[in-house]
Amino acid sequence: MMNDGRPFGLYIDGRFQPASTGRTIRIENPKDRSHLADVAEGDETDIDLAIDAAERAGKIWAATPGAVRGDIMHRAGELLAKELPDLVTIEVDQIGRARREMTAQLGRLPEWFRYFGAVARTHEDTVPPFGGKFLNYTRRVPLGVVGHVTPWNHPLLILTKKIAPSMAAGNTMVVKPSELAPITPLLLGDIFKEAGVPDGVYNVVPGYGATAGKALTSSKRIKKIDLTGGTETGKMVASIAGANLTKVAAELGGKAAVIMFDDTPIERGVAAALFASFIATGQTCVQGARLLVQRSVHDAVVAELVRRTNMIRIGNPQDMATQMGPLVSARQRELTERYVKIGLEEGATLAAGGKRPNGKLFENGYYHQPTIFTNVTGSMRIAQEEIFGPVVVVIPFDTEEEAIALSNGTEFGLATSIWTRDVTRAHRVAHRLESGIVWINDHHRIDPCSPWGGFKMSGIGRENGLIAYEEYTQIQNVIVNLSDEPFDWYADDGQEKRYS
Ligand code: NDP
Tell me how far apart the alpha carbons of residues 498 and 182 are, in angstroms, rounded to a whole number: 58
Mean pLDDT value across the chain = 97
Does 451 contact ligand 1 (Cβ within 6 A)? no
pLDDT band at 96 (very low <50, low <70, confident <90, very high): very high
pLDDT at 275: 98
By alpha-carbon position, which residue is closest to atom 44 of ligand 1? 285
Q: Output 294 or 496, whichever has higher pLDDT.
A: 294
Tell me the CA–centroid distance for residue 230 and ligand 1, in Å.
Answer: 5
Query: Ligand 1 atom closest to Cα of 459?
Result: 41
Sequence-separated (6 or more) residues with CB below 8 Å from residue 365: 30, 31, 32, 33, 96, 326
By alpha-carbon position, which residue is closest to atom 31 of ligand 1? 230
Q: Output 487 or 228, whichever has higher pLDDT.
A: 228
Active centre residues (catalytic): 251
Mean pLDDT of 448-470: 98
Angle between the N-to-C axes of helices 155-168 and 99-106, in degrees from 0 to 180, rounded to the nearest 10: 10
Tell me the CA–centroid distance for residue 279 and ligand 1, in Å.
Answer: 19
pLDDT at 495: 83
Provide the 10 A C-beta neighbour count for residue 174.
29
pLDDT band at 338 (very low <50, low <70, confident <90, very high): very high
By alpha-carbon position, which residue is closest to atom 48 of ligand 1? 209
Does 182 contact ligand 1 (Cβ within 6 A)? no
* pLDDT above 70: percentage of residues in the chain: 99
Does 444 contact ligand 1 (Cβ within 6 A)? no
pLDDT band at 178 (very low <50, low <70, confident <90, very high): very high
pLDDT band at 486 (very low <50, low <70, confident <90, very high): confident
**Tens digits of residue pLDDT in 18-67:** 999 999 999 999 999 999 999 999 999 999 999 999 999 999 999 999 99
Does 230 contact ligand 1 (Cβ within 6 A)? yes
Query: Ligand 1 atom closest to Cα of 452?
Result: 40
pLDDT at 143: 98
Tell me how far apart the alpha carbons of residues 205 and 40 are, in angstroms, rounded to a whole number: 8
pTM of the shown model: 0.96
**Tens digits of residue pLDDT in 154-165:** 999 999 999 999
Domains (ranges, CATH) in the chain?
10-252 (3.40.605.10), 257-440 (3.40.309.10)
Tell me the CA–centroid distance for residue 347 and ligand 1, in Å.
Answer: 31
Q: Where are the alpha helices (DSSP H) in 176-257?
A: 183-195, 214-217, 231-243
By alpha-carbon position, which residue is closest to atom 11 of ligand 1? 209
Tell me how far apart the alpha carbons of residues 179 and 176 are, in angstroms, rounded to a whole number: 8
pLDDT band at 494 (very low <50, low <70, confident <90, very high): confident
Would you say 64 and 171 are in contact if contact means Cβ atoms under 8 Å apart? no
Does 254 contact ligand 1 (Cβ within 6 A)? yes
Query: Ligand 1 atom closest to Cα of 217?
Result: 20
pLDDT at 499: 79
Does 43 contact ligand 1 (Cβ within 6 A)? no
pLDDT at 497: 80
pLDDT at 161: 98
pLDDT at 5: 79
Mean pLDDT of 203-208: 98
pLDDT at 500: 76
Residue 136 confidence (pLDDT) above 90: yes
Tell me the CA–centroid distance for residue 407 and ligand 1, in Å.
Answer: 24
Residue 449 confidence (pLDDT) above 90: yes
Tell me how far apart the alpha carbons of residues 22 and 311 are, in angstroms, rounded to a whole number: 47
Query: Ligand 1 atom closest to Cα of 207?
Result: 47
